[in-house]
Amino acid sequence: MIDDIFKKPEHVAVIMDGNGRWAKRRGLPRVFGHREGAKAVERTLKIAVELDIKWLSVFAFSTENWKRPKEEVDAIMSLLVEYINTKVPELVRDNIRLRFMGRRDGLPEMIRESMDEGEKATEHCSGLNFVVAINYSGKAEIVDAVNKILRSGVDEISENTFKSYLYIPEMPEPDLLIRTSGEKRISNFMLWQLAYTELYFTETLWPDFDEEEFLKAVYFYQSRERRFGKVPG
């Protein structure tokens, strides 16, 4: 287990990649990979709770993912609705607050309703904050923030004020970003918030991500010296 004398990340962000390849290697349709991916989300949530991590955010569907074949988009949307509808009672039991970030406009009505209900039902939970990014991109979030600022009539802002216009203003910046499947890219995830985040890349495909992998990423984080631009002291 993680030793408390070492710093623990307060916010772990995850780019869950490799579902399609996981399925392809087994000669299965891609959607099977996403189903297994949902199980990996479950495992990750459980470990995050055990480690007493305060924020876990996952990139579930990007604004670019609409370009995938319609059957795959529909399957991911159905999986997300099914996940929210069936898991909310467990999230409440485990004191996990569910939140979403991304552009709600353009999402099918059925998923928007589930998202609203899931957020409302877990609003009072004070344990882990579980953030699911759906129809999300970092550039879109920045543009949406700028448009809100323009509409509010403010003519000059600081970095701190800018932060208050992001989708979840109170969300701390990630301490650790995990990306699975060997790709070493940020792929438009939390461009503003990742400025000083430690980046951890693993070859493991997302459906195979487990407790051991999570702990490896946390140990990596604990071995890093975070200087935020200062000299070592």
Per DSSP, the residues of 30-89 read HHHHHHHHHHHHHHHHHHHHHTT-SEEEEEEEEGGGGGS-HHHHHHHHHHHHHHHHHHHH
- The nearer residue to ligand FPP, 19 or 197, going by C-beta atoms, is 19
With CB under 6 A as the contact rule, which of the stretches 34-42, 110-118, 149-157, 225-233 interacts with ligand FPP? 34-42
With CB under 6 A as the contact rule, which of the stretches 11-19, 100-108, 142-150, 167-175 interacts with ligand FPP? 11-19
Interaction of residue 118 with ligand FPP, rule CB under 6 A:
no
Active site residue 4: no
With CB under 6 A as the contact rule, which of the stretches 3-11, 12-20, 46-54, 112-120 interacts with ligand FPP? 12-20
- The nearer residue to ligand FPP, 85 or 222, going by C-beta atoms, is 85
Closest CA to 17 of 198, 153, 187: 187
Kindly state the helix (H) or strand (E) to which residue 201 belongs, with its residue range.
strand 198-201
Active site residue 210: no
| Residues 44-73 contacting ligand FPP, CB under 6 A | 58, 60, 65
What's at 101, amino acid-wise?
M
Enter the DSSP assignment of 195.
T
Active-site annotation, residues: 17, 65
